[in-house]
Amino acid sequence: MTFENRPVWKRWNSKETVEGAGVKLRRAFGFFEKTLTDPFLLLDDFRSDTEKDFIAGFPWHPHRGIETVTYMLAGNMEHQDSLGSKGVVGPDEIQWMTAGSGIVHTEMPHSEKGVLGGFQLWVNLPKDHKMMNPRYQDIRAGGIVEVPLSGIGKMRVIAGGFDKWVGPVQDLITHVHYLDISLDPHAVIDIPARKGYTTIAYVIGGCGRFSPRDREMCCDHTVVLFGDGDVATIEAGELGARFLFLSGKPIRETVAWYGPIVMNTEEEIRQAFNEYENGTFVKGR
């Protein structure tokens, strides 16, 4: 069987921005790229060794119509919400929160020796699941599947799968794969990516080439958006490479987006904020 290799379609660097109560972070993609990255809406990178850049955190705010995925590498993110849930997401842990019909929550970072490291991904929900009951999937340390890659590196499977390995996040509404891949110097990997799926890599360490037909090196903070095909072939540079790999089935529905609320129509957005103001936003008590 012949497989079609995915080319590099577009690439760009994540951009510095400020969110929450003054958290400085880098946005890999968001509102302006939403038609390119469907079903993924946003990816924020909050790696920092300057505590004042992030310690103010993300005070109480609502979400509706999406899933938020917090993946920590260093430090902790303490959370609590309007449903009475509370806890801490620590290093090598994940919180996959399905906001559905509505959650109001707060996320407050705590550094480890002044260092915080992590990412938050937003995944869109299709129209018929926008108002589903909210839920959480919390994956604790040791729960992420870590796969040795036969002498070329290692991979953490967060959601979806790779070969025979399946990630711990289950029962996904939107079909996605989320991998954290570390390659040794000059190692080459072929990653299956179903044809028709939006496929993205975000480099978080080292450098690499992300298509045999593309000789440009992509390094830390680079977003790589692949063209269509069956497999993505990545070759690490002389210092190795680490990247997040996302692949998902596009929803292809109208997106109405304002702040932390993502629905299908402007009327639904107005309704959500009216409910937030009059205290009827949270449905799943």
Q: What angle do CA 139, 145, 146 make, to 5 degrees?
A: 130
The mean pLDDT value of the chain amounts to: 95
Cα 186 versus chain centre, distance:
26
Is there a domain that residue 285 lies in?
no
Residues 76-88: what's their mean pLDDT?
Answer: 91
From the list 96, 10, 40, the residue with the least C-alpha distance to 247 is 40
Q: Can you tell me the distance from the alpha carbon of 65 to that of 63, in angstroms, rounded to the nearest whole number?
A: 7
Note the pLDDT of residue 1. 60
Counting the structural domains of the chain, the total is: 1
Q: Where in the sequence is the domain holding 111, given as residue range(s)?
A: 8-278
Residues 202-218: what's their mean pLDDT?
Answer: 95
pLDDT band at 215 (very low <50, low <70, confident <90, very high): confident
Q: Which two tokens stand for residue 268?
A: 């639904």
- Under 8 Å between Cβ of 123 and 43: no
Is there a domain that residue 216 lies in?
yes
From the list 258, 260, 254, the residue with the least C-alpha distance to 269 is 258
144-199 pLDDT, tens per residue?
989 999 899 999 999 999 888 999 998 899 999 999 999 999 999 999 999 999 99
Residues 50-69: what's their mean pLDDT?
Answer: 96
Is there a domain that residue 283 lies in?
no
Is there a domain that residue 3 lies in?
no
- Residue indicated by tokens 């072929």: 190
Is there a domain that residue 1 lies in?
no
Is there a domain that residue 284 lies in?
no
Amino acid identity of residue 285, one-letter, is R
Q: Can you tell me the distance from the alpha carbon of 28 to that of 121, in angstroms, rounded to the nearest whole number?
A: 10
The CATH number given to whatever domain includes residue 240 is 2.60.120.10
From the list 284, 282, 281, 187, the residue with the least C-alpha distance to 243 is 187
84 pLDDT more than 90: no
